[in-house]
Amino acid sequence: MSPDALNNLFSLLIGFAVAGALSSAYQAMAQRPAGFGLLQQGVAPHSFAALPFLMFAAPFIIMRNTLTGPRTSDLRRAQFVMLATLLAGFWSLMSGTVVLMALQALGVFA
């Protein structure tokens, strides 16, 4: 495996791990699961604070909503699940890259 591919895989995994940790911490503190509805609370300071949170927690929320969302039929369309998985994976790759860059800037990760 090439170093670039390994770096991308590590970024993807870090992105999903950070998303899961943030979502679980929010659920433990707020006693309800995190969701995109946090942005629909009008113009308030906590709505602005929700934006950076959702930027990093979105991959977990997308996958949770895809796998446990309301079912219109017994079988989900494979195309919808694949599209949601690709979206969450790409988002996780990008947020994981940002986390790794921040860790490198702090000198925690070489």
Nearest of 90, 69, 91 to residue 80 by alpha carbon: 69
**Cβ neighbours around 93 below 10 Å, total:** 18
Confidence label for 75 from pLDDT (cuts 50, 70 and 90): low
pTM: 0.85
What's the whole-number average pLDDT of the chain?
Answer: 88
Percent of the chain residues past pLDDT 90, beyond the cut: 59
